[in-house]
Structure 1
């Protein structure tokens, strides 16, 4: 989940945001609060949050001063300004500093949650765009999903861990929902929204990537790999694998054997 700090000299406003916001729904958590610009600046340096919710008019440094100082050192930190002032000058400066949103007090809970979800989505997209160039489409998709775990809700993050622990079993939607004590409809909706993939599709992608890795080991036979990943029906495993990669599992074994012979030949020259 993305870490958030709230900085405002109005303690009541800070407490209201901290208590009324559905942080898990937004994929965020409160990492700290501060009540003036100087303490807020120190808090940001100490916590290194992903998102900062900050007022403009405060003792010490004002909000725009804090943003200016932090943007020079931590370009990835995102800011949401909360203010009782709607002056055009403030809005201009906020835009110039790359502020994500500018909310006017009094702030409605729904308004804050929408702003947070917008920022969280932007952070996830940015993480997905940093996929290493050498990856193929499956590796890139899994990398994008798994590298975004910091921004997922606790439920979705736990589900990903559950798949990792049980990759050798037949994993169903009901299995993970029983483990997490949540309804299947709620879980499916949240998993798809946060990762961009359906849960069953994610499980299949993980199994296929693991199958590809296991098949590269000359000691592992194709039918053994199917069993190692929880597939009791080899024909079904074959069908899923070929649909994913466009070639048969045995083709990997053939290429590994061919590569091994080539290396032996090169070594003998």
Structure 2
């Protein structure tokens, strides 16, 4: 049943309509009456009726003012306006507020009943649509987590998945991503463990990384998180250590995490291969570690703040042809280049120039794996080789053993 408010300043009309309309027969209940627009608005504020039947001309606040105020309170209210013949044009002003039903006084039971039936039918249809949308939303809420997991699995394992697939998926699945660099975090549990332990590790990581997580899934014996981290590497490495410590405190098991370098979200396959490669070649197997681009954090090892700054600078400026140890030391960190070079090599095991080449080549592998039509000169520009694609190809072949075109195949 839908609640109706009747508003008219003429008591005879108010009592007459109240008594002769078969309210229940048309699916309604007369919830209240009012003698003018002001009384009507007070009732609407308190009771929120579904339907208002109102005269046009009334003292204090007329019917048009009532409609205007009521729509401001609740835009879903339906109206039936009662008008003398001479005020019918005046009533049309209410059309801008969605009023569809106008009855000329004196009006009989049949006319009011027909208008009410039409409005009730509209309200029933609206309720059906709302219930349908609610069912769809509830269904999506149930399937979306699985769909997101499945999509990330395809993104990291299917070489045909690329930018167009990512954009299409985002068009119907809400992902808090507005473009920019992402990274893939690969997690695994050390020692003897059950599937529940991997699930718990992934949950802890998702909870602590919070809004940085775009997608998550499991693949075999590992969990994967596609993240977009906007703070520095220093903060991220500290948070990853916190994830390890939290997991260890609950389950007395060690966890290892490998973080890829940065790339576009649709380059997840290349990022996965990079992070997995580092994970497989680390030396501290079984102990648990945090393996980040360029270095590994074991139980007690952690690069100095200066080296972490260098690693972050390399990630940010990888497309700059002028990126060099001298530029980083002298123009960004204001320190001696020889000292910085020795410190960097001591803590990472790499010469600075070799590390920059490694980052560029790993990014090149990711981009080539994710793109069907990338041109060599475009890749060279993106990765700091300027207008020298020939030199880029030479370095790529030396690093991978293949030319860029053969690597794609």
Q: TM-score, normalised by structure 2?
A: 0.33
Answer 1 or 2: which has greater strand percent. Answer: 2
Q: Greater RCO between the two (CA within 8 Å, min separation 6)?
A: 1
Bigger Rg, which one = 2
Answer 1 or 2: which has greater helix percent. Answer: 1
